[in-house]
Amino acid sequence: MRRRNTIPFPPPPRSPRQWRRPWSQRSRSMSPRPTGLPFIRWKSNPPPRRHHQPPLRPAPSQPQPKRQLPSSLNRKMKKQRNTRSSSKRSVKEEQEDEDDFAEKKSSSRSASSSKKRSRRDEDEDDFEDEEEEKKDKKKRSSSSSSSKRSSSSSSSLKKDKKSSSSRSSSSSSKSSSSRKRKADDDEEEEKPSKGKAKTAKGGRASKKAKTEEGESSEWKWWLEKKDGDEEGIKWTTLEWNGVLFPPAYEPHGVKLYYDGEPVELTSEQEEAATYYAQYLETDHVKKKTFNENFFKDFRALLKSTPAVYKRVTKFDLCDFTKINAFLQQRKEEKKTRTKEDKQKEKEEKEKITEKYGFALVDGHKVKIGNYRVEPPGLFLGRGAHPKTGHLKKRIMPEDVTINIGKDAKVPKCPIPGHKWGTVTHNNTVTWLAMWKETINGGFKYVWLSASSHIKGQSDMKKFETSRKLKNHIDKIRKNYMKDLKSKEKLERQRATALWVIDHLALRVGNEKGDDEADTVGCCSLRVEHVECIEPATIKFDFLGKDSMRYENSTEVPRVIFKNFCLFRKGKKPADDLFDRLTTTNLNSYLKSLMPGLTAKVFRTYNASFTLQQELNKPMPRDLNVAEKVLHYNRANRQVAILCNHQRSVPKSHSAQMEKLKNLVEELEAEKKKLQHRYELVKAGKPLPESESESEEENNEDGTPKKKKKASLPTDRTRIKKAIQKLDERIKNRKVEIEQKDELKTIALGTSKINYMDPRITAAWCKKHDVRADREDLLQDSS
């Protein structure tokens, strides 16, 4: 009898004869069956026994003769082999016929109706259960018949085989056909499930589309390929709800006093007087131009009431203090609003933003930058503007031009009784609305926000052009250095201006009118703005953009110094330094050197290059995030200084610095308390009561306060962690103080938005594990 493939572990050392016996037949003298040990069932042959291995037989030298059996037994075994092979062949043939029959039957069933199929399926399910029981019985009978096969005759074997084959053929044909039917039904059941999956997928797609519409940041427009778009087409579809006008003026009834007597004013006149009263506590009213321009426009309004016009003739006799006191009182009342009122105002603002603050551009919801029409008031201007103080008139819907898609619904005018001035469908521009302002005669536009895809595409093109300049900058510098000694005066002036733009990052400068602020750039420099100091120093002193003063003394190459002295020779202080050069000539020459190159590209290139050089400077490894941000802002500061992005010191700077210093002192005092508690806990001494419990808990009016729970930790490890957190907070506040002091006269925002390639910032943040969406990186950190 063949030994089972399951052996106990470990095997007992017994003789081979005893080892082959089963456990039930072993004698008591043999070792008992081990308990508590697992049995190992080997997948392949069992491992060889280590004990009592029989010796290997030597290989026979000659082939041994086959074993001879009796003739009667030999004939009987031959008959059995023949019957087995014939029965196997018949079973195979019958199985193939049954498969063909099942395929025909399944094809005929697929053409039948669904009702019959459902009934047959129920019958077949019952039939399959009966067939499974028959198969089990058949297996048992076949196992018993196999033991009797040796003694049964060939005729009985044939009969049994035929009957079993017929039974098996019928059962197998029915089972195969039932399997076919079940497969067909499963396919039909899968079809609606696939439909459901499609709807679910569609639901996900629609949800995704909604999120893309809701959040413009999720629209990855830079990954979309625009094939076959016409040149200059900015959008295909555009829908929005128009602009929001400021509310109408509500008269307050506070009188203007002239020479100590009240003056009756109309609503329009009172509105203008109120605008001036808002600036009584500012430096604007100290400017003579501001007061003269306002009183000129105010007198024009008084013409509608001749009596008041004849009476109010001198500005110095006008008293706006009563109106200013009323405005201050209203401002204080606004500060004392309840939480419910503030929440209500916040909800109203959110509703307005949701209605007017977004546009649907090419199927995507995009934020609008400035959807409010500029309210009336006094024009301030930048710097010493000659028109400061003039009255800005109220813009009405008739002054506004709306730009919208052809198939889109024109937004309804929000002011009853009025209509839009013009409605256009210009998809080659990116503005949504425009109107003409009343001070300088220029146009004001409503644009999409800086985070929109249109602004992003423009910025991407700008920074790509400045990056391409890297491949041409050496050749351009070689050319203008060569032209510095040219005999042609135009070439020499152009080369000198290019050197200044390239090395000092000055703006190119445009011509200004008499009614505009006297701001200059490189090409519009005058003799009075430049001073030559021996041996080779040039001093610049002029008002740049936004009337910000640019004052810089720099040492230049000798050839540059000679050219500046030559261009100044024989000219008056008000004469142009580069009298042969214009902005148009300079940009035309630059475009011939590289496609898309202008003087502004030099400024963008030098700003991004300076940022890259400053960020590449080594910094300590153990810096926290706040110190890393300080390192970045210092690099940004160098770019802002290069581009002359200055500002005046904010009025609240000293108060903010004082507040931060007081906060640091409080944190250090708290740290000392914790250190003292740590020493007490370490020495095993009792802890004193915390100050929050020991102080008298009374309000100013004598009513008792609610007792505060002690917030200081008592556990040794917690005290240590609290000290570490305080150290980190103190460190961050000191970094903030240092940063505010360094950046009090520098504006980082302009260079961050317009001149520094954002890919440099993103790469630095990724390298040093700093989140790129931090507020102190995105906003002006000063």
pTM (2 decimals)?
0.61
**Domains of the chain: residue spans and CATH:** 257-337 (1.10.10.41), 341-450 (2.170.11.10), 455-597 (3.90.15.10)
CA-to-CA dists, residue 416 to 203, 357, 396, 403, angstroms: 41, 21, 11, 21
Residue 525: per-residue pLDDT? 93
DSSP string, 106-118: HHHHHHS-HHHHH
Q: What is the dihedral of CA 568, 571, 573, 578, to 10 degrees?
A: -60
Distance CA 151, CA 33 (A): 39
Tens-digit pLDDT profile for residues 698-723:
444 455 544 444 456 777 788 888 88
Determine the Cα–Cα distance for residues 108 and 424; give it in Å rounded to an integer. Answer: 68
Average pLDDT over residues 116-133: 47
Residue 296 reports pLDDT greater than 90:
yes
At residue 679 the predicted structure's pLDDT band, cuts being 50, 70 and 90, is: confident
Q: Is residue 630 within 8 Å of residue 738, measured between CB atoms?
A: yes
Tracing tokens 């603050």 back to the chain, one arrives at 357
Q: Give the pLDDT band (50/70/90) at residue 650.
A: confident
Q: Does the pLDDT at position 533 exceed 60? A: yes
Residue 24 per-residue DSSP state:
G
pLDDT for 495 beyond 90: yes
Q: What is the pLDDT of residues 442-472, one digit of tens each?
A: 899 999 988 888 888 888 899 999 999 999 9
**Helix extents (H) in 215-282:** 267-277
Per-residue pLDDT, 174: 43
Asked if the model's pLDDT at residue 191 lies above 80, the reply is no
Of the residues 275, 356, 550, 755, only one is catalytic, namely 755
Q: What percent of the chain has pLDDT over 70?
A: 65
Q: How far apart are CA 237 and CA 361, in angstroms?
A: 6
Rounded alpha-carbon distances, angstroms, from residue 444 to 315, 373, 413: 32, 9, 19
Choose between 759 and 232: higher pLDDT.
Answer: 759
Torsion of CA 251, 253, 257, 261, to 10 degrees: 140
Quick check: 347 and 245 in contact, CB under 8 A? no
* Amino acid 389: pLDDT: 93
Residue 722 neighbours by CB under 8 Å, 6+ apart: 674, 712, 713
The whole-angstrom separation of Cα 481 and Cα 473 is 12
Instruction: Please report the pLDDT score of residue 36 as a whole number.
Output: 46
Mapping DSSP onto H, E and C, the string for 431-465 reads CCEEEECCCCCCEEEECECCCCHHHHHHHHHHHHH
Active site annotation includes 755: yes
Is pLDDT above 50 for 540? yes
